């Protein structure tokens, strides 16, 4: 946890309370925020993604809503489907197909709600997506490309709905390159992350999708057994999407050295500082 993380987690809690409670239910919002404050006071310095997971548990339990982001997730998927032809054209025109796939995967991680300082709206994303694909991409791109070419097996850890539409496009192209791709998605709804069940319903591909766990990110202590086996198998390249996965996997990334790639937009200052890039930039970083 950085100092920035505390107000960010609380801001997102208020955003989510406004999603699940009506404007007349101020006392319910207040009670949820206070329970979260009590939890944070007893868990100072924890991994932000796991503190955020407890925030999700509190709000889901108090609202009796198991998927607070359902409407926004469905809307994001529709927006992404409408924009998929832009990604397809970008890929077809690219002279470097591997870099094009990396760019599409990283740019799609812009689809995120409720992050303090990150301005995203489903209604306006269509107008900026083309430019997003062409943004400067920070990281060791040549090494990322080398790994994508050299590994035959890829464990692809997804992040958000909407974004997942573009992930499926990338995965399809990787499959046509002869790669064996297994996708890891959430066991149950958490934030606006895509679940394994939701991802399977989004594609007709013969694709193996496994559940990774029920927390924000990919935390060792919450991993499903099959996901754990793949994650620590030295024959598999790990493509890790998003900040939640970065926050959790970076706690044990030395065990994945030589076969881990982070793909994300560094939407917050603490993550950007750790990676060593300006806040808001696209990242493709190998470990």
Is the pLDDT at 55 greater than 90? The verdict is yes
Q: How many domains does the chain have?
A: 2
Are 237 and 113 part of one and the same domain?
A: yes
Are 229 and 255 part of one and the same domain?
A: yes
Are 29 and 132 part of one and the same domain?
A: no
- Mean pLDDT, the chain, rounded, equals 93
Are 57 and 91 part of one and the same domain?
A: no
Q: Please state, in angstroms and rounded to a whole number, the distance separating the CA atoms of residues 281 and 247.
A: 16
> In angstroms, what is the C-alpha Rg of the chain?
18
Mean pLDDT on 204-226: 95
10 Å Cβ neighbour count for 273?
Answer: 14
Are 56 and 160 part of one and the same domain?
A: no
* Residue 235: burial class (beta carbons within 10 Å; 0-12, 13-18, 19+): exposed
Length of the chain: 287
> For residue range 19-33, what is the model confidence (pLDDT) as tens digits?
999 999 999 999 999
173 and 101 Cβ atoms separated by less than 8 Å? yes
Q: Please state, in angstroms and rounded to a whole number, the distance separating the CA atoms of residues 256 and 129.
A: 32
Residue found under tokens 């955003």: 15
> What tokens does 149 get?
């070419």
Task: Show the domain range for 43.
Answer: 5-63
Are 13 and 120 part of one and the same domain?
A: no
Are 264 and 279 part of one and the same domain?
A: yes
Are 145 and 33 part of one and the same domain?
A: no
Give the Å distances, CA to CA, from 79 to 3, 198, 217, 239.
34, 16, 24, 24
Q: Please state, in angstroms and rounded to a whole number, the distance separating the CA atoms of residues 170 and 175.
A: 9
Q: pTM value?
A: 0.93
Are 32 and 84 part of one and the same domain?
A: no
> For residue range 236-269, what is the model confidence (pLDDT) as tens digits?
999 999 999 999 999 999 999 999 999 999 999 9
Are 144 and 248 part of one and the same domain?
A: yes
284 and 170 Cβ atoms separated by less than 8 Å? no
Q: Please state, in angstroms and rounded to a whole number, the distance separating the CA atoms of residues 193 and 69.
A: 9
Are 172 and 31 part of one and the same domain?
A: no
Are 205 and 278 part of one and the same domain?
A: yes
CATH code: domain of residue 253: 3.40.50.10880
């Amino acid at each position: 946890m950085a100092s920035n993380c505390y107000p960010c987690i609380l801001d997102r809690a208020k955003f989510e309370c406004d999603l699940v409670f009506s404007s007349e239910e101020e006392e319910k919002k207040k009670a949820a925020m206070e329970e979260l404050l009590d939890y944070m006071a007893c868990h100072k310095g924890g991994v932000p993604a796991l503190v955020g997971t407890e925030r999700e548990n509190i709000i889901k339990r108090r609202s009796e809503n198991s998927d607070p982001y359902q409407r926004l997730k469905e809307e994001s998927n529709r927006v992404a489907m409408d924009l998929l032809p832009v990604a397809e054209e970008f890929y077809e025109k690219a002279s470097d197909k591997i870099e094009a796939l990396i760019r599409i995967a990283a740019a799609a991680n812009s689809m995120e709600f409720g992050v303090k300082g990150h301005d995203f709206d489903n209604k306006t994303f269509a107008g900026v997506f083309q430019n997003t694909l062409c943004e400067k991409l920070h990281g060791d791109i040549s090494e990322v490309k080398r790994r994508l070419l050299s590994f035959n097996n890829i464990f692809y850890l997804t992040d958000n709905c909407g974004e997942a539409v573009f992930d499926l496009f990338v995965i399809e192209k990787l499959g046509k390159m002869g790669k064996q791709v297994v996708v890891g998605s959430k066991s149950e709804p958490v934030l606006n992350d895509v679940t394994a069940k939701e991802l399977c319903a989004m594609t007709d591909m013969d694709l193996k999708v496994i559940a990774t766990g029920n927390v924000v990110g990919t935390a060792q202590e919450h991993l499903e057994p099959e996901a754990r086996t793949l994650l620590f198998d030295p024959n598999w390249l790990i493509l890790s999407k998003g900040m939640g996965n970065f926050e959790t996997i970076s706690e044990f990334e030395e065990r994945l050295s030589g076969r881990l790639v982070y793909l994300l937009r560094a939407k917050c200052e603490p993550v950007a500082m750790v990676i060593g890039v300006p806040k808001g930039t696209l990242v493709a970083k190998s470990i």
